[in-house]
Amino acid sequence: MTIESLQQKLENQKRYIAQLTEENEELYHQFNHLMIRNTKLLKRVDDLQKIIDDLHIRIEELQLINGNMMQLNDNLRKRTENAIKTGSDIQKIHGVISNAYNDDIKYFSTLANIQDPADQFDLDDLFDRWKNYPGQQSQNAPNLRKQVLMMVHLYNNKSLRASDLFNLTGVGGVTGARYVSTLKKHGLIQYTGARKKGHYQITQSGRDFIEGKNQPQKSPLTRDLEVSNAMPHGRKDPLVHTATEGESFHMSEDL
């Protein structure tokens, strides 16, 4: 093999190395582009999840409004039926309407006299402590805030019926039942009395939580595990190194 053939072979190998290096850089550019696109898609998923949570809250509010409207409609229907039964006696009709009106005024006056929890407590602090409460599995912020409001209202009142508690908190019957079930499971509230005529009361553990006394904290290991489990599938740790445009793959030119 002559020197000329060896030089020709060396030049061919250098040319191949240059081509491979160029292709490698192009692949790195494509990889970086896909990583950026993946990050944007994950952010869009998070934004859509927040929108869904807000829509759930709005649906619950509409359900509550619908329930109140149906209750008012039932009251009006009962008044009409009572008025028809009493016949043309104006005094009796006036008495029926006055009693119903007084009942409504008494109910709404009771609601109006209830203090705003935001004026009494730091709701953000209560929310943070409830979110990090031992055994807490939910990470849905709107749900946790509603549960905090339930505890605050029960803290301010000796006892509340389920309907009154749900109305004050602004949740429907099904959602409210799920919230109180969670609070009872943690021993923060309790239900006393008959099934349909009983009341909800806050326990001593619940009072200690509202007042910030003897609050157990999650261990750092537990919090790290929960954060890790809450990360969407396929999401990369922010510390993972990704290639930059200046990086390239270099092959040795030694034969």
141 by DSSP, 3-state: which?
A: helix
How confident is the model at residue 245, as a pLDDT? Answer: 39
How many whole angstroms separate alpha carbon 179 and alpha carbon 182?
5
Series of mean pLDDT values for 10-residue runs along the chain (255 residues) = 83 92 93 94 92 86 83 82 62 52 49 56 83 82 87 86 85 85 90 83 89 62 50 45 39 36
Read off the pLDDT of residues 149-207 as tens digits, 9 standing for 90 and up: 888 888 888 888 888 888 888 888 888 888 888 999 889 999 988 777 788 999 998 88
Distance CA 230, CA 136 (A): 13
Amino acid, res. 159 = S
Tell me, what's the pLDDT at 247?
A: 38
Computed over every residue of the chain, the mean pLDDT equals 75
Its pTM stands at 0.44
Q: How high is the pLDDT of residue 214?
A: 62
For domain 117-214, say whether CATH 1.10.10.10 is its number: yes
Long-range contacts of 214-218 (CB under 8 A, 24+ apart): 215/129, 216/133, 216/134, 217/132, 217/134, 218/132, 218/133, 218/134
Ranges for all domains in the chain classified under CATH 1.10.10.10: 117-214
